Amino acid sequence: MHADFRSLPADPASAAALADQGLRYELVGDDEGRQDAFSQAVARGFHGGAPDEQALVEMRESSRERRAIGVWDDSAAEPLIPIATVDSWPTPLRVPGGRDLEAWAISVVTVAPTHRRRGIARGLLEGELRAAVANGTPLAILTVSESTIYGRYGFGPATWSAELAIDTKRARWVGPTPAGRVQLVSREAIRDAALGIEERARAAGGIPTWRGHWDRQLGLRRSEASKSADIRAVRYDDEAGEPRGFAAYRVKDAGADFTRHPVEVIDLVAATADAYAALWRYLLELDLVHEVVAHQRSVDEPVTWMVSDARAVRTRSVTDHLWARILDVPRCLEGRTWQRSGRLVLDVADNLDLAGGRFALEVDEAGAARVTATDEAPDLTLGVAALSSALLGGASPIALAAAGRLEGDAAAVERLHGMAVTPVPPCLGFWF
């Protein structure tokens, strides 16, 4: 890794391409005035309200921990506010087998409505991918506002999230009854315990959270205090009194019938099976509640099996969530554990010329991979986006082949499927 990723220079090729349009593409750096202008541009780019003084101070925290890039148009009416933004930071990503792979997380990609569709986002994205390569990071990741934007840069969806709506009047608890306790605690207490619990709970597809994330999720930022007083929090402590999980939720307005409050689960994080069961049970047995809605859940939630009537748990939607982009094929494929042994020669196409080539993937009985460049005839031909989708074990190579995103004979496709797909689907439980 680069000694200080925040000072990796702005990518010269993107700087030159944007300079041709009279635009300055630059690191935001440590100047608070520039950081605040960047935050204003981000809020505007996502159709948010103008941040007040307090919100700007709070947003400086992420400016200090991320590498932020802005694009300035000196001819604009407000030339100090960038017309485009992106930020990024290197982070561990949990991969199948329980190890972490370093990933370049990319966020807050915005282009002002006055400057859209003239290649500025392309400059930002290509610049980020080249910066990640310069940093020695083998993978880039992001969560997306629209699933139409990032495939062209070699990203593929790699985890999926479900939105669950549970009818609590039908969902009689038949799951386990753990021996620990669910305790009502302050949001501050959850914030203080969250990082430790989350780190133990992190499964494939997960990246570590940060304190500012929890301030925001739990409504603890001073600038958002008035909107979040209704957030309640519970913690599960095991028999020894160790915190093992928590849930934050909001009971919404019941309307005319006071027995029918909807509950929105803001987060439910469980480091143990006991914590998982106890927290769900608590939520599903709240009085005066008829429905519990939870977002960014796994597509294979055990809670479905913990209630008397499985149809009480309705999956409202399943959407792609984390997108991944391989930048170094050998390091990514060797970084994870595979489900079965086998050998395949993969021909990987990359239209940005960052990671493509022909590689022999050899997996031993323990699931450990060795990946070497080769000029043998390929068993499978695929784009880097399809390989990135398969990396975390959540995408089906059989379906990718049926869709024409992976070519090869059926036996080779099935071999990759058996090697890649994991029994537990990868999951990232939040947006970044």
Ligand X SMILES: CC(=O)SCCNC(=O)CCNC(=O)[C@H](O)C(C)(C)COP(=O)(O)OP(=O)(O)OC[C@H]1O[C@@H](n2cnc3c(N)ncnc32)[C@H](O)[C@@H]1OP(=O)(O)O
Q: Which residues are catalytic?
A: 150, 432
Is 197 annotated as contributing to ligand binding?
no
**Residue 365 binds to ligand X (criterion: CB under 6 A):** no
**DSSP-H helix ranges across 165-257:** 187-201, 211-217
Query: Whole-angstrom Cα distance, residue 76 to residue 21?
Result: 13
Do the strands 342-349 and 380-383 form a parallel or antiparallel pair, or are they unpaired? parallel
- Any idea of the CA torsion for 204, 210, 213, 214, to the nearest 10 degrees? 100
# residues near ligand X by CB under 6 A: 22
157 near ligand X, rule: CB under 6 A:
no
Query: Shortest Cβ distance from residue 186 to ligand X (Å)?
Result: 32
> Nearest approach, Cβ of 72 to ligand X (angstroms)?
15
Per CB under 6 A, which of residues 257..286 are in contact with ligand X? none
Find out whether 145 is annotated in a ligand binding site. Answer: yes
The 11-30 site mask, x for binding ligand X (CB under 6 A), equals --------------------
Is 146 annotated in a binding site? The answer is yes
Q: What is the distance between the alpha carbons of residues 82 and 347, in angstroms, rounded to a whole number? A: 40
Contact status, residue 397 vs residue 416, Cβ threshold 8 Å: yes
- The encoded tokens of residue 272 equal 């143990």
Closest CB to ligand X among residues 99, 152: 152
Cα(81)–Cα(69) distance, rounded to whole angstroms? 12
Structure token digits, residue 144: 């997306």
- In angstroms, the CA 4 to CA 146 distance is 31
Single out the residue of 20, 65, 79, 145 in contact with ligand X (rule: CB under 6 A).
145
Which positions from 51 through 110 interact with ligand X, judged by CB under 6 A?
106-110
Which of 107, 123, 101 lies closest to 67 in space, CA to CA?
107
Contacts with ligand X, 101-130, as mask; x by CB under 6 A? -----xxxxxx----xxxxxxx--------
| Of residues 142 and 265, the one with the C-beta less far from ligand X | 142
Q: Is 121 annotated in some ligand binding site? A: yes
The CB-of-108 to ligand X minimum distance in angstroms stands at: 5
Q: Binding site annotation covers 415?
A: no
In contact, 217 and 267? CB cutoff 8 Å: yes
At residue 373, what is the residue type? Answer: A
Nearest to 277 by CA among 178, 185, 190: 178
Give whichever of 45 and 425 is closer to ligand X, judged by the CB atom.
45
Minimum CB–partner distance for residue 222 and ligand X (Å): 25
140 binds ligand X (CB under 6 A): no
Task: Report the residue number, 85 or 422, with the smaller CB distance to ligand X.
Answer: 85
> Helix, strand, or coil here: 251?
strand
Q: Does 398 bind ligand X (CB under 6 A)?
A: no
144 binding ligand X? (CB under 6 A): yes
- Given candidates 13, 19, 32, 46, which one binds ligand X under the rule CB under 6 A? 46
Was 119 annotated as part of a binding site? Answer: yes
CA distance linking residue 238 with residue 240, whole number of Å: 5
Of 200, 189, 272, the C-alpha closest to 235 is 189
Using CB under 6 A as the binding rule, whether residue 149 contacts ligand X is answered as: yes
Binding-site positions for acetyl-CoA: 109-111, 117-122, 145-146
Q: Which residues of this protein are in contact with ligand X, per CB under 6 A?
A: 45-46, 106-111, 116-122, 142, 144-146, 148-149, 152
